[in-house]
Amino acid sequence: MLVKTAREAIIYCWQRKKGVGINRVRGHFLASIVLVVTTWMCVGVTCAADAPDFNTQIRPILSQNCFECHGPDEEGRKGHLRLDSYEGATAVYKGSSAVNPSKLDASELITRITSTDSDEIMPPSDSMHALSKIEVKLLTRWVESGAEYDEHWAFLSPKKKPLPKVSRAHKAWRQNPIDAFVLQSLKAAKLDPMPEASKTALLRRVTFDLTGLPPSLSEIEAFLSDRSRNAYEKVVDRLLASDHYGERMTLAWMDAARYGDSSVMHADGPRMMWPWRDWVIKSYNDNKPFDQFTVEQLAGDLMPEATEDQKLATGFNRNHATSDEGGAFPEELRVEYVVDRVKTTANVWLGLSMECSQCHDHKFDPISNEEYYNFFAFFNNNSDPGMQSRRGNQAPLVKLQSKDRDTQLAQNEVVQADLNKQLKVRRESIGPDAEKWAEVKEADLRSAKTFKAQPAGLQHHIPFYDMLDKKAVELISGIQSKIIAGARSGSWKGNTTLRMRNKDAVDYQGVAAFVEVDKPFTMSAWLKTPVNRVSALFSKVKQGDSDMRGFDIWIDRADIGMNLSSAYPDNTIRVMARKQLKANAWQHVAVTYDGSSKAAGIQIFVDGKAQKFDVEDDSLTGTIQNESPFRIGGRYPNMNFEGEIDDIRLYDRVLSQDEIGAVRADSNGQLAVFTADRPSESQSKFIESSFLKEEDSIYKKMTSDLAAAQKSEAQIKKEFPELSSMIMQDNPDAKMRMTYVLERGLYDSPKTNKVITAAVPSFLPPMPDGAPANRLGLAKWLVRSDHPLTARVTINRYWTLFFGGGIVETVMDFGNQGSMPSHSELLDYLAVDFVESGWDVKRMIRLVVTSQTYRQSSRVTPKALEKDPRNRMLARGTRFRLQGEFIRDNALAVSGLLIPTIGGASVKPYQPLGIWNEVSLSGGLKYPQDKGDKLFRRSMYTYWKRSAPAPNMMIFDAPTREKCVVKRPRTNTPLQALVTLNDMHFVEASRKLSERVMTEGGVSFSDRVDTLYRLCMSRPVTAAELEVCRSVYDQQFASFEKAPESARSYLSTGESSRDEQLDLIEHAAFTVLANMILNLDEVLTRG
Amino acid sequence: MDPIVEQLKILGRRQFLKNTSLGFGATALSTLMNPGLIGTANAGVNSHIAQRIAPKAKRIIYMFMAGGPSHIDTFDFHPEMRALHGQELPDSVRQGQRITGMTSKQSTFPVVAPMFDFQRHGKHGTWVSELLPHTAGIVDDITIVKSMHTEAVNHDPAITFINTGQQAPGKPSLGAWLSYGLGSLNENMPGYVVMISRGKGNLQALYSRLWGSGFLPAEHQGVKLRSSGDPVLYLANPEGISRKDRRMMLDGLSKLNQSHFDSFGDPQTQSRIAQYEMAYRMQTEAPEILDFSDEPESTFALYGEDARKPGTFAANCLRARRLAENGVRFIQLYHRGWDQHNSLPKQIRGQTMDIDQAAAGLVKDLKQRGMLDETLVVWGGEFGRTIYSQGKLTASNHGRDHHGRCFSLWMAGGGVKPGFEFGKTDIHSYNILEDPMHIRDLNATMLHTLGVDHERLTFPYQGLDQRLTGVEPARVMHEILS
């Protein structure tokens, strides 16, 4: 009877897949699976002989087939019938009830599900559902036996049951509570456990599981030679104490926390969240109890006297996708962020998908639409805006100290201050010498063949001749620019230029004030640009609400044009010369205007030649003057210039073509200065500084020292950028945002007739006494010791790291639609134990990996495969492919390339060309690959740009991390083979691996291959394997011997150097061998 | 996910394999006991469940015009518009609907009639813009839908919506659903490929989620084919390694893996062996498929000279046809640069020049090869553009903002009516008057042409049987099917 019932229980499960009838499933293939699954279904739940078990057998049928119309969702409910509660099912409506316990004839449910009338039958014939005969039988017997309802198992607090007694036959097994439960279920299923895995296999398994890295040769040696009883436990303790343990645990948490280094939506710009990641690594390594880990990440900012670290921890809920898209509706986005935080928090801690109830009552779980917004309210008062930045971190954030940066900058500042002082002294003592020198210089310039008299009317002249104190001087008025933050000096013909990187602009307050609609002018400059973007050369523009006033000279790729606007776009002149600029070449541009208010009064010159241009607008009537600064290399708020600019001049009259030629001929601006009739004060200063720079060796030495110090300052800033990390922070009390139910979940349809307060779903325990109705209260509620979900969900998630799947397979769903636990008593035992231990994560993991269950051999016998193909019963060790990050890290580790530094900023290792450009906004974003050590960091530190993540990781199932993922799918595809065969990471690692083996692994071929095996598989090579290796090596050797140039190019992949001591052909052939080993199933698999 | 459901899917796959002649080897079959171990060439885990309708199409070629092409300047023409030119858009048309932050502050909303000539073409006198002379030549082969609509009005949510069925990230793309549901027809090629080209217009960003697998296993993600370097990432052997060298090494690898299998018995190991063999075959097959050297001159006359230049839309169209011939199930082309907020007349001319001849050429080519009936060809973007001018309307220049309330796309082949127009908008091409077709309806209809019931192509995730069309109603638009 028992087996029959249970088997039927399984069969209904087969039906759960919509639209598939039992008649599709035939033959003994089915029978064998059914038997196996039957057995595990019985474990941990009581398979009553008569009454079907509500939780395992009845609720799933009702949930899948009935709840959509007769479940918790009030609005969607049909026929006034609710089947998810005893009260609902037995309620009398119009004289009958769906379920009349023990009375089949009086139960409408039974009448309907057994009806042959297509108008009567339930589920309706036009629905996607149909009940099988077996399901009908089960429901019938359930009603017959009293129609008992149990609460859903996962919504009741777990209880620790006494450990099952282990039969004598298995006394040899080491005893651990986990083993007791597992053995009990194996016994019921008539399965025998496997013996312990070999020492080498076990060491490799546990080292990967706890650190994500392979064991080293010395670790293998130490373990093999340790004959003590607790040798293995010692290894586990060593691994748990390793800092790599924190990295490994953090990598899994990064998926759940949707960690990324970019903002996801629209521009997908950069952000800095790695300080949060470092916090997670440290927390795991410090073994921070999981309840604290939870409270700090969800509400660290609200803790009394919150520390910087506790605030930093809340970055968990700032990792979500944000947008900066121009036309977007900030409130729509803000609501989306709250929705994401609700989803992620519920997925990760509760194992529930709450998002269904964003629009209506949940169809399957008892979460009403209003309760969703109760939960939403916890996150609805965050102060971060809907429209966020595409350039770095969006407030609120914590600024973090960077000791390295601060110390080094302080030292550098002293050096620079001292040099500046010395330079000043030198400058002040030089006056008369410079005057004499200037006379000689002027005479020289005038006598030169290229001399051309300089035109009159020069109002402004910015030659960027020097940029002391990071400012450039306008030489006629002496006006200094604002500090040029990012702009740097370039160089052209030994002359300083302004170099811009599409980020910065240089502002002068007061320059170009004379420019007006009714006055003539000439403007000129030298420029060099890649002509791949839209930017402004210079401008003086005031941005209004919907219009702009002022002028600019702007560039659209190879086009150059000018706007003179009183109110752009309605009152403006707009002209454009098409395709006149050359890419990355120095060229001179000039524009003249005669003050006529007409486009016809404009001329555009490129390299002295007048250009044809299109008139796009010619409607200027009013003033163009405004109070904005004159801006070089941009037009407010962006249009930033990339390339170099030099020698900007503004004249108050229209220059002739010849005069423009003269200006052009004076490319470094010296003639304008030295031949000025009445030099301005700044011109005189300029002459002095020219003398110093060109003639005074002491001064020259000082300036070059200063330049070096400035360069080193920039280097320090680049290497140690200012640190910050985004955090959660609520609005101040006075600005608290009201929460309302949003009609169909739409941001612009709040039901304002009722204010929704922050609260937890009513089917779960209440908030702890005295807990505030905010995120802090929510976090404390999650870690209540009797919370039915948090500990179970957490244990289950950690379990997947060590067994490849969860005790509950639906790691993200513990609700009515989730799968039943394979070992429910074990799960409950571990959950209670975890809480009782003070949420001690390392202790719990130690318990798992020291269990005999974990330590079994993963050998698969045909019988075992047939009975339990997916190893749900745990009658053997589990085997699964290593995750992508571990596969690359393994290659780096065994080859000796790995830089094992813990934590810090993300890095940009090799990736194929064009991955960013192809998709980026405007298409110009190149991947700035790093060099040196940063190429060889662990893969968890690879810069994660979420619109274009590292392809070699994506191919291995890494999620994009745009959304929370608590369990990765695991696939094997040919594209993966191509990565480990051909990606330069692996080609280079193979080369270094062979180098390492050839230099450290003995002299004979067999010794070397043996070392290779030990490095990659933690075990010695067998004779048969050695023979295969020999043959591959010999053939490859012969092939390379015939084509040594092929050997050389094969060995030239990657930035690391090759050991030239090694024979080229031998090295290349051995590299092929090493690459083959890195591609072995055994190496790619943790078994 | 539910283990039993998983087992069932495996069984489904097994069943499917029995019923088809895909020539799957014994090795691959043995892996069926272990789900998720199959390479890109699989038969589709859900096929016998999902595919209940007689399929008209075997594959889809989707030409996606990223950025939002103007329906007003291409297909959705009303002669009455000419008289409205320059007039303020009446409130009665706009009805207070939200408009993007880019134009919401404009003080006026002048109507802009297209600055292009429109003529009637084909048997039914279909209006087509002068911008699309070649497309005008195939109107008798296509259905033009003028009543597409979407709730999204900004690029990121809109393009995510139409490519994955939902505005927020996290869902699988259409192609991933097809790969999951129907699998590949060529075990040596990915079942879902993506190609990107760019025009000179304003480039909006793309995201790997648009061809991503969401919560479906990663094997279903689109494989981006590249125009320079390896057509498939990591496809070529490293420099210095010949194909013979590679074969020899793989033989050794296979031997070692086989002996590992002999002692450990894990079917995954055999799957791994098969996977390396497929990769080896893909190394020659993919470049061969993408090599145009066997194409006659007439091909380039058909697709345009651009087809000779790698990376152009035209070259991608020709690649698409060759991939379709070689069993690729879903081919998505992206052409970027349709976001004409300003200088629309100039920019859209450039964009249409890029795509017109090749898109029409592809349809003609498929037709002459007898493949059009079994190939669904789709052309369209994520939304349309406003009738009113963004920025200043001058005699020869203007822009248009995003518009989701109606937009146009066309489809051909694969069971779609030839020479048909569907849906009607008002004379401002602003609101739909008849036969609205939502993105969900489009998805349901595309799946239908492949024989797939959109309500049955499901994947259990987070307690819900997830589907491409989501939980809101979606309808197969039988009106456009032949």
Question: Which residues of chain B are within 8 Å of residue A803 when distances are taken between CB atoms?
Answer: none
Ranked by mean pLDDT, the top range of A151-165, A603-617, A836-850, B102-116 is A836-850
Task: Tell me the residues of chain B between 47 and 66 that have a Cβ less than 8 Å away from chain A.
Answer: 49, 52
Sign, CA torsion A85/A90/A91/A93: positive
Contact call for B205 and A870, based on CB within 8 A: no
Question: Which residues of chain B are within 8 Å of residue A13 when distances are taken between CB atoms?
Answer: 2, 4-5
- Burial class for B108, CB neighbours closer than 10 Å (0-12, 13-18, 19+): exposed
What Å distances lie between residue B150 and A265, A614, A879, B167, B402, CA to CA?
Answer: 19, 38, 46, 10, 11
Output the 3-class SS for A269-316: CECCCHHHHHHHHHHHHCCCCHHHHHHHHHHHHHCCCCCHHHHHHHHH
Torsion of CA A959, A960, A964, A965, to 10 degrees: -10
- Taking each helix axis as running N to C, give the angle between helix A1064-1078 and helix A884-895, from 0 to 180 degrees, rounded to the nearest 10: 150
Kindly report, residue by residue over A814-843, the tens digit of the pLDDT: 998 888 999 999 999 999 999 999 999 999
Nearest-angstrom CA–CA distance, B70 and A191: 66
Q: What is the pLDDT of residue A277?
A: 98
Chain B nearest CA to A857, separation (Å): 9
Inter-residue contact A39 to A190 (CB < 8 Å): yes
- Of A64-78, A195-209, A360-374, A386-400, where does mean pLDDT reach its minimum? A64-78
For tokens 């003529």, name the residue: B119
| DSSP letter (8 states) at residue B374 | G
Q: What is the pLDDT of residue A26?
A: 33
Residue A544 contacts B where some CB pair is shorter than 8 Å: no
- The pLDDT of residue A686 is above 70: yes
Kindly report, residue by residue over A292-303, the tens digit of the pLDDT: 999 999 999 999
Contact call for A570 and B156, based on CB within 8 A: no
- The pLDDT of residue A1029 is above 70: yes
Contact call for A546 and B107, based on CB within 8 A: yes
Of B7, B187, B200, which to mutate for an interface test with A (greatest number of A Cβ within 10 Å)? Answer: B7
Bridge partners (DSSP) of residue A83 are none
| Mean pLDDT (chain A, rounded) | 90
> What percentage of residues in chain A have a pLDDT greater than 70?
95
Q: What is the pLDDT of residue A23?
A: 33
pLDDT band at A904 (very low <50, low <70, confident <90, very high): very high
Residue B255 contacts A where some CB pair is shorter than 8 Å: yes
Nearest-angstrom CA–CA distance, A892 and A794: 31
Of B45, B210, B275, which to mutate for an interface test with A (greatest number of A Cβ within 10 Å)? Answer: B275
pLDDT band at A866 (very low <50, low <70, confident <90, very high): confident
H or E segment and range at residue B458 = strand B458-461
Residue B113 contacts A where some CB pair is shorter than 8 Å: no
pLDDT band at A486 (very low <50, low <70, confident <90, very high): low
pLDDT band at A987 (very low <50, low <70, confident <90, very high): very high
pLDDT band at A677 (very low <50, low <70, confident <90, very high): confident
- The pLDDT of residue A775 is above 70: yes
Q: If you average pLDDT over residues A755-764, what whole number do you get? A: 96
Q: What is the pLDDT of residue A104?
A: 87
Using DSSP's 3-state secondary structure scheme, residue A790 falls into: helix
Nearest-angstrom CA–CA distance, A521 and A519: 7
Helices (H) and strands (E) in chain B, counts: 14, 17
Contact call for B271 and A972, based on CB within 8 A: yes
Q: What is the pLDDT of residue A12?
A: 36
Contact call for A570 and B455, based on CB within 8 A: no
Contact call for B276 and A817, based on CB within 8 A: no
Single-letter amino acid, residue A655: L
Q: What is the pLDDT of residue B187?
A: 83
A872, A1043, A1075 member nearest B3 (Cβ)? A872
Bridge partners (DSSP) of residue A526 are A588, A646
Single-letter amino acid, residue A168: R
Residue, of A83 and B429, whose pLDDT is higher: B429
H or E segment and range at residue B350 = helix B344-368
Sign, CA torsion A1032/A1035/A1037/A1040: negative
Residue A1019 contacts B where some CB pair is shorter than 8 Å: no
- Of A281-285, A373-377, A819-823, A1025-1029, where does mean pLDDT reach its minimum? A819-823
Q: Which of A245, A214, A210, A206 is nearest to A1077 (CA)?
A: A214
Q: What is the pLDDT of residue B104?
A: 82
Inter-residue contact A426 to A477 (CB < 8 Å): no
Kindly report, residue by residue over A688-744, the tens digit of the pLDDT: 878 887 888 888 899 899 989 999 999 998 888 899 999 999 999 889 999 999 999
pLDDT band at A469 (very low <50, low <70, confident <90, very high): low
Nearest-angstrom CA–CA distance, A535 and A501: 11
Q: What is the CA radius of gyration of chain B?
A: 24
Query: Tokens representing A823?
Result: 């070992």
- The pLDDT of residue A14 is above 80: no
- The pLDDT of residue A174 is above 90: no
Chain B nearest CA to A977, separation (Å): 6
- Taking each helix axis as running N to C, give the angle between helix A243-256 and helix A274-285, from 0 to 180 degrees, rounded to the nearest 10: 130
- Burial class for A503, CB neighbours closer than 10 Å (0-12, 13-18, 19+): middle
Going by C-beta distance under 8 Å and a sequence separation of 6 or more, which residues neighbour residue B153?
Answer: A327, B98, B99, B100, B383, B402, B403, B404
Q: What is the pLDDT of residue B2?
A: 40
Query: Tokens representing B73?
Result: 């300047």
Kindly report, residue by residue over A623-649, the tens digit of the pLDDT: 999 999 999 999 988 889 999 999 999
User: For A917, which residue in chain B has the nearest alpha carbon?
Assistant: B205
Q: What is the pLDDT of residue A421?
A: 94
Kindly report, residue by residue over A1039-1084, the tens digit of the pLDDT: 999 999 999 999 999 999 999 999 999 999 999 999 999 999 999 9
Q: If you average pLDDT over residues A255-282, what whole number do you get? A: 97
User: For A1044, which residue in chain B has the nearest alpha carbon?
Assistant: B240
Question: Which residues of chain B are within 8 Å of residue A972 when distances are taken between CB atoms?
Answer: 36-39, 219, 268, 271-272, 275
Contact call for B156 and A951, based on CB within 8 A: no
Question: Which residues of chain A are within 8 Å of residue B273 when distances are taken between CB atoms?
Answer: 1081
Q: What is the pLDDT of residue A675?
A: 86
Q: Which of B464, B385, B390, B461 is nearest to B430 (CA)?
A: B385
Q: What is the pLDDT of residue B255?
A: 97
pLDDT band at A441 (very low <50, low <70, confident <90, very high): confident
Contact call for A1046 and B242, based on CB within 8 A: yes
A629: Cα separation from own chain's centroid: 39
User: For B339, which residue in chain A has the nearest alpha carbon?
Assistant: A922
- The pLDDT of residue A239 is above 50: yes
- The pLDDT of residue A8 is above 80: no
B106, B248, B463 member nearest A817 (Cβ)? B463
Inter-residue contact B400 to B390 (CB < 8 Å): yes
Residue B403 contacts A where some CB pair is shorter than 8 Å: no
Q: What is the pLDDT of residue A596?
A: 94
**Residue pairs between chains A and B whose CB atoms are closer than 8 Å:** 334
Residue B199 contacts A where some CB pair is shorter than 8 Å: no
Question: Which residues of chain A are within 8 Å of residue B36 when distances are taken between CB atoms?
Answer: 969-972
Task: Tell me the residues of chain B between 6 and 25 that have a Cβ less than 8 Å away from chain A.
Answer: 6-9, 11-12, 15
Q: What is the pLDDT of residue A21?
A: 32
Query: Tokens representing A779?
Result: 């976090």
pLDDT band at A17 (very low <50, low <70, confident <90, very high): very low
B40, B216, B251 member nearest A973 (Cβ)? B40
Give chain B's residues under pLDDT 50. Answer: 1-43, 45-48
> What percentage of residues in chain A have a pLDDT greater than 90?
66
Kindly report, residue by residue over A326-340, the tens digit of the pLDDT: 889 999 999 999 999
Question: Which residues of chain A are within 8 Å of residue B204 when distances are taken between CB atoms?
Answer: 921
Using DSSP's 3-state secondary structure scheme, residue A556 falls into: strand
Inter-residue contact B77 to B84 (CB < 8 Å): no
Contact call for B237 and A919, based on CB within 8 A: no
Contact call for B240 and A1048, based on CB within 8 A: yes
Nearest-angstrom CA–CA distance, A115 and A109: 10
Kindly report, residue by residue over B420-460, the tens digit of the pLDDT: 999 999 999 999 999 999 999 999 999 999 999 999 899 98
Question: Which residues of chain A are within 8 Å of residue B168 when distances are taken between CB atoms?
Answer: 321, 336, 339-340, 963
Task: Tell me the residues of chain A between 932 and 951 that have a Cβ less than 8 Å away from chain B.
Answer: 946-949, 951
Query: Tokens representing A187?
Result: 């016994």
pLDDT band at A468 (very low <50, low <70, confident <90, very high): low
Cis amide leading into A396 (omega within 30): yes
Contact call for A982 and B238, based on CB within 8 A: yes
- The pLDDT of residue A9 is above 50: no
